[in-house]
Structure 1
């Protein structure tokens, strides 16, 4: 597998400018998508009659670069083939810097140009800006066992945006799974019941009425859970006198748990009641229990309670 609210834009006609007696058509950006393999933005556009021009310039909005005005659109590529309608922005200009769709939305505009002589090309107006979808870092909730995704709304399809598809894979080259779909006015999704200690690679895909698609960047998350206690031993249980039962357990004093609960039941598979608790950091613990006169048998065990307040591991039973 290769991996892989907002500005509103609805462009239905090309804008033109009269240059030296000629009218230059403005390119129409059809989509801006993060390439699944390179994780760089790919800009795609269309022209009604490319034979009337000599090429295109691609401009990217720049932020945080010394010597460049924040928010200005600067040329990152000049294309001298009027029949080329796509550009993968792998530019790495020392001043403008590389495109980084994994860190922020990347905004683009395209213009056409024509050589009218004199060594100075004439340019059309710039197209309306279109940005990549930016999928933010994934938020993992270990207690709810879910991953929450948030992304920027895609402005490239305008009113034709029908919604977003959410995909994941467990490896960059593994099978892709469509985990959910949301409407075009929604930019968040919760992936529930994720597996513990598993890596997920996510991306979001915008879809329009004409089945055009635009992908976000990929975000990776590993659902790291606290390790289970390594030591959970039921050592012994003995009746001392007058119905007093002495219990001993060896627990993992270094485990990432909230506490340990001592449980008791009259039947092996019945309901257990909590009769005591031991704090995190406990090693060997002992407890004395009083058996009532009508109790002929009792079952004891210790449960480790994790940081979410849920049982994570139990000892074997001690039977009296």
Structure 2
């Protein structure tokens, strides 16, 4: 009980002590000043600029000072440089610290016995430009510049520079956002040229990174293209990406669609390669490409502009089908063919040979109108079908100088001769047309000087000669012949028909012949001396009868008139007489017969 009494006696005394103590309110932490920059003036003094803090509690009337601390090391130690007692003052010029080196400052707000958290530490250097990570083409009119976050706490924004045509970097925009890490340049021309960029940082006091010349420029990849219609190839060439130095790992050639959306990765090449040849697959005539540059960190990439190639595929007709070659009037050879006109035609020419298809060469260009007709005809007026069988072929040369050929056709050359046995012999070269079938040959004949050819004979296609006996024909000294080949042909366009090809006309004159009797008896059966003439030329005929002394007893120019054995109205005596008979052939050769005859009485 004694102990309890002692405790009770102590409690009243404790209350007496506590009542004598005055309780003070706890001071809240003041706002931290917003330290903006530490600028070196031309005088060498250092001007600090800040703004009142926005965090914490405004200390109002209890404001004591802005305490400014300085050090020559970012890690301290810091010493109190000054205490600015005016709460409205937001600048301070340090004229006492050593400006020859880098100085570091921070500020704090003091309100009575309370002190704010320290501000950021700023140095007397200008803000450091950020590191550009890539300059990449978004589309053919915009470039995106990417960079790492700025390392200077005083950075308030960035200035973007782009090189002009002379390589001078010109500011193109200002970004008032210290946390920005990319910029899109919509005023660039990445489809026309590589674009080169630099970036500078600035602080709230307009201190700027020392100009664009102190940074590493990054230059976009510019892609160009040339297409070769005839080789089905497109060659793409690009400028190297600049800015990564040895960290440039290589390039990817990417095929894209018309909206620059990737379709396929075509190839990967190293940094020394700046061109690539793309071969279009069969049937493909359009393709678009872009180049992707790769950083060795496997993160950063830079796209080029994209380009598209549209080639005109080599255009050739699907078919050129000769349907006929025939000898017409005046020995002109007419050639006809059908041709595919579903695609544009470029250059047509006629190839010809006087021997065979192995000797074909370009003979004549063939102009055609627009639109080109599907059936074409060529007249060869310089041919000599009496001497040659001609081989023809049609050639088309397309936009890539690639030829397309038709089949061949060979005309008929007809030859004829007098076989001196009262027959005319004919032979001919076969008619040939690629894909056609000869059915037969028709032989036509007409007396020389007339044009009424009539069918003489029909022979099978394997027969290439014919003998015409003319002993049964009277009243004609010669005949003209013409051959017709009957053949069946067709073309890929659906054309099919049975057609004719005619040969040249050959005329054969029978050689005049003179058969002379060796005796006659005026009073007998054979009472007139007259030669037997075969195919005479009456305008060029003469006959003379002479005695042994050379005296002319009889003369005539009429092949139908003979000597009756009289001279000056009196019978010539029996005996031997001489004769001279002359006659010209149709080709101008003079035939002459000389001899003796016996006159019998």
Same fold (TM over 0.5): yes
- Of 107, 123, 131, which aligns to 2:208? 123
Partner of 2:346: 256
Unaligned runs of 5+ in 1: 1-17, 64-69, 91-97, 264-271, 292-297
For the residue of structure 1 that corresponds to 2:305, the secondary structure is coil
| Structure 1 stretch displaced more, 227-236 or 107-116 | 227-236
How many correspondences in the alignment?
266
CA distance, structure 2, for counterparts of residue 230 and residue 39 of structure 1 = 43
Shift of 1:248: 3.1
1:281 aligns with 2:367: yes
Partner of 2:221: 133
CA distance, structure 1, for counterparts of residue 226 and residue 318 of structure 2 = 28
| Aligned residue runs from structure 1 range 115-194, under 5 A | 115-116=204-205, 121-125=206-210, 126=212, 127-136=215-224, 138-172=225-259, 176-194=263-281
Partner of 2:288: 201
1:319 aligns with 2:319: no
CA distance, structure 2, for counterparts of residue 78 and residue 151 of structure 1 = 30
CA distance, structure 1, for counterparts of residue 312 and residue 168 of structure 2 = 41
Distance verdict in 2 for CA 1:56–1:308, change over 3 Å: same
For the residue of structure 1 that corresponds to 2:153, the secondary structure is helix
Partner of 2:14: none
| Aligned residue runs from structure 1 range 198-277, under 5 A | 198-211=285-298, 212-225=300-313, 227-229=315-317, 232-236=320-324, 248-251=336-339, 255-257=345-347, 259=349, 275-277=360-362
| Structure 1 stretch displaced more, 272-281 or 138-147 | 272-281
1:83 aligns with 2:179: yes
* Contact 1:50 1:82 survives alignment (8 Å): no
1:27 aligns with 2:135: no
- Of 158, 177, 198, which aligns to 1:56? 158
CA distance, structure 2, for counterparts of residue 305 and residue 106 of structure 1 = 44
Deviations 1:171-205 (A, max 9, x none): 32666122222210111111123556722221111
Looking at both structures, which has the greater relative contact order when contacts are Cα pairs under 8 Å and sequence separation is at least 6? Answer: 1
Shift of 1:255: 1.8
Unaligned runs of 5+ in 2: 1-37, 41-123, 369-375, 409-433, 438-601
CA distance, structure 1, for counterparts of residue 352 and residue 292 of structure 2 = 50
Shift of 1:53: 0.9
- Of 108, 122, 125, which aligns to 2:197? 108
If the length of structure 2 is used for normalisation, what is the TM-score?
0.39
* Contact 1:233 1:249 survives alignment (8 Å): yes
| Structure 1 stretch displaced more, 79-88 or 163-172 | 163-172
Distance verdict in 2 for CA 1:195–1:221, change over 3 Å: farther
Distance verdict in 2 for CA 1:165–1:33, change over 3 Å: same
